[in-house]
Structure 1
């Protein structure tokens, strides 16, 4: 799914906020923020780290995800990997924590479910981690169009590699 489709989707979903953050020059672009949150979407409209929307648990999941300490910005490179996607990609540990946090949210379940579905199921991004060389995919989900379980060669040294993010829905 392309970023442009998500932008179109955000325009069509009732209540999505469109904001322009002028605090930082690199943020001087249109952002799509999920209703009732300040951190869930493309960037943040929060005044500070403690500023959360009306769905605070879901919003704190998004805030923590946004603050992942190991990211590769769009067009950037790190750990020998290049991110050619038009959005930031994160270490798989951060995406795993984000998924768990959203699933455990006691906010209106529809909010965390929609945020999780948009990020994990529709965006279908990739994450990265240090792992033995991938030799194949032992469990490919044809509906979600991603590998859910990889086969690896434990005799190889670990290297940084891209992995499909997990499916959000149980």
Structure 2
């Protein structure tokens, strides 16, 4: 894969809105199954050790629940257990929603200090626009499993999000990083 990128001289810098647009476009694409991808042969050692029945499509799987991953998924929960970008659980549609949310370009992981903010919680906090996209994605699935995920994330835990602070000065210095703040999520599932 990386061999094909040698013709590019340097990375192109894009802003947050452009990145969100790209992520939305990727979300709309059909993802080939893992078995058809050459990357499938490069699954990590840890992923190989996981028992096949661990990711059964039930909500009463205590092993998956205690590992912090929603049963039937590899991207939904505290972190992810996917070996590659294309590695999805049996709940593929919901996993795509979680994968896109996990890859939010503006995010503070637990106990991370970034954007002049400190996240002292046990879970990551994503940009409010990423949370909104996650909300829409789960709602669009119209499935019981997605509804459980949405209720936990948006109604029970009510994870705060990160948002840009409107600059009171009209001429902010060019190249200056825009201030961020935590915000209470306004979405109820």
The verdict on a shared fold, with TM-score over 0.5 as the criterion, is yes
1:113 to 2:133 alignment = no
- Residues 17, 99 of structure 1: CA spacing in aligned structure 2 closer, same or farther, 3 A cutoff? farther
1:60 to 86, 96, 100: 96
Residue 16 of structure 1: how far off its partner (Å): 4.6
1:15 to 56, 61, 68: 61
When the two chains are superposed, the root-mean-square deviation of aligned CA atoms in Å is 2.1
Number of aligned positions between the proteins = 123
1:126 to 129, 149, 160: 160
2: distance between equivalents of 1:17 and 1:51? 19
Residue 132 of structure 1: how far off its partner (Å): 3.0
- Tell me which protein shows more strand as a share of its residues: 1
Larger radius of gyration: 2
2:86 to 20, 29, 50: 50
2: distance between equivalents of 1:77 and 1:66? 18
- Tell me which protein shows more helix as a share of its residues: 2
Alignment of 1:28-107 (within 5 A): 31-105=67-141
- Residues 17, 167 of structure 1: CA spacing in aligned structure 2 closer, same or farther, 3 A cutoff? farther
Task: Tell me the equivalent position of 2:180.
Answer: 160
Question: Stretches of 4+ moved more than 4 A in 1?
Answer: none
2: distance between equivalents of 1:168 and 1:55? 23
**1:33 counterpart SS class:** coil
Q: Is the CA contact (8 Å cut-off) linking 2:64 and 2:71 kept in structure 1?
A: no
- Residues 16, 121 of structure 1: CA spacing in aligned structure 2 closer, same or farther, 3 A cutoff? farther
Residue 164 of structure 1: how far off its partner (Å): 1.0
Q: Is the CA contact (8 Å cut-off) linking 2:104 and 2:126 kept in structure 1?
A: yes
Q: Is the CA contact (8 Å cut-off) linking 2:75 and 2:88 kept in structure 1?
A: yes
- Residues 113, 16 of structure 1: CA spacing in aligned structure 2 closer, same or farther, 3 A cutoff? farther
Taking CA–CA contacts closer than 8 Å with sequence separation of 6 or more, which of the two structures ends up with the larger relative contact order? Answer: 1
